[in-house]
Amino acid sequence: MAEFFPRRGDGGYGLALFLNAGDPPLPVLEDLVHMLDERGVECLELAVPFPDSVTDGPTIRRSARRALDAGVELADVLAFVERVRPGLHRLRIALLADWSHSVKPRPLADVVGEVAGSGVDGLLLHALPPRLRTDYHAAAADAGLPIVTTCYHGVSSPRVLDEAAANASAYLYLVAHYGRSGTSAAPDLAGLAGTVATLRERTAVPIAVGFGVRTRQDAESVAGCGADAVIVGSAGVARVENALSAGRDVVADFEDFVSSIAARDGEYTQIRTGG
């Protein structure tokens, strides 16, 4: 399976964009996913919607509520991925699922197997109880499913950093701030660079930094700290929300957003053939 964020030597950065499946509605999202692939975006972090996330601010929580009100559940999201994934040339899909809302009622290994079978490129399992981590890692390994692990700059203990680095096989998501998405201040760049360097000594997988990345300037600053990629959530979700409320073309609005935040290395141009 291809690497999520190829290492760059040109000062650029990989781009991961977060969206809730079902916001925009799945038929529109399908067109949006193909646009991201044509533009050369590396990763879509696609969430199975769940309510009342304690780590998300109002923008993403409203998005999740719209998707939930539309009836989008795990089975719908996996069917969506299974439908669109074979036609993608570059874009990778990392699925974010909440353990309590989407996984808890069923055997963990069964759900992991279904996620892998859909064609998802990686899985981030949100709020998994620590007692189940060993079982989760074993199930993912058995299914051949790369996983995304998370840790927090300035908050996670050395033991947590070590565990995240040891178990990441898709990429490692370093959260730049402790708090809710969309409400964070600008990253502490000096300290962030130290955390990235610490993690780099412990893992060979790409390191992606999120929370507080809203503009190209933010992304360039984070990349300057040594990150392989940036993860953009609330700013992109807000573009979807605004387009929906104004009756505008969601895909066109989001494409403009991609242009505004992508690296200035000429790589984010339309690619309509494989490669």
Q: Residue 16's pLDDT is what? A: 98
Q: Residue 267's pLDDT is what? A: 47
- DSSP result, 140-157: HHHHT--BEEEEETTTS-
pLDDT over 80 at 247, yes or no: yes
Between 6-10, 68-72, 234-238, the lowest mean confidence (pLDDT) is in 6-10
Sequence-separated (6 or more) residues with CB below 8 Å from residue 80: 21, 26, 29, 30
For residue range 124-150, list pLDDT tens digits in order: 999 999 999 999 999 999 999 999 999
Structure tokens at 256: 């403009």
pLDDT over 50 at 229, yes or no: yes
User: What sign for the dihedral angle of Cα 153, 157, 162, 167?
Assistant: negative
H-run or E-run covering 16: strand 14-20
Between 36-50, 170-184, 207-221, 235-249, the lowest mean confidence (pLDDT) is in 170-184
Q: Residue 33's pLDDT is what? A: 98
Q: Please, what are the domains in the chain?
A: 14-261 (3.20.20.70)
Closest CA to 250 of 30, 3, 45, 58: 30
What mean pLDDT is reported for the chain?
91
Side by side, the strands of the sheet bearing 171-175 are 122-126, 92-98, 43-47, 14-20, 229-232, 207-210, 171-175, 148-152
Q: How confident is the model at residue 10 (pLDDT cuts 50, 70, 90)?
A: low
For residue range 111-121, list pLDDT tens digits in order: 999 999 999 99
Longest CA pairwise span in the chain (Å): 48
Structure tokens at 34: 């193909």
**CB atoms inside a 10 Å sphere around CB 248:** 12
3 is catalytic: no
Q: Residue 3's pLDDT is what? A: 81
Helices (H), 118-215: 133-143, 158-167, 189-200
Q: How confident is the model at residue 187 (pLDDT cuts 50, 70, 90)?
A: low
Q: Residue 271's pLDDT is what? A: 37
Sequence-separated (6 or more) residues with CB below 8 Å from residue 27: none
73 is catalytic: no
Among the listed residues 38, 42, 45, 241, the single catalytic one is 45
Q: How confident is the model at residue 52 (pLDDT cuts 50, 70, 90)?
A: confident
pLDDT over 60 at 275, yes or no: no
Closest CA to 215 of 193, 194, 195, 230: 230
For residue range 102-112, list pLDDT tens digits in order: 999 899 999 99
Structure tokens at 200: 């780099």
pLDDT over 50 at 226, yes or no: yes
Better-predicted residue by pLDDT, 169 or 9: 169
Q: Residue 184's pLDDT is what? A: 55
Q: Residue 118's pLDDT is what? A: 98
Q: Residue 212's pLDDT is what? A: 87
* Amino acid occupying residue 12: G
pLDDT over 50 at 269, yes or no: no
Structure tokens at 253: 């609005």
**CB atoms inside a 10 Å sphere around CB 142:** 12
108-117 helix and 74-84 helix, angle to the nearest 10 degrees: 30
Determine the Cα–Cα distance for residues 37 and 275; give it in Å rounded to an integer.
11
Q: How confident is the model at residue 239 (pLDDT cuts 50, 70, 90)?
A: very high
Structure tokens at 271: 């690619």
Among the listed residues 56, 121, 218, 241, the single catalytic one is 56
Average pLDDT estimate for 19-34: 98
Closest CA to 220 of 15, 73, 29: 15
| CA–centroid distance for 247 within its chain | 26
Q: How far apart are the first and last CA of the chain?
A: 14
For residue range 86-98, list pLDDT tens digits in order: 999 999 999 999 9
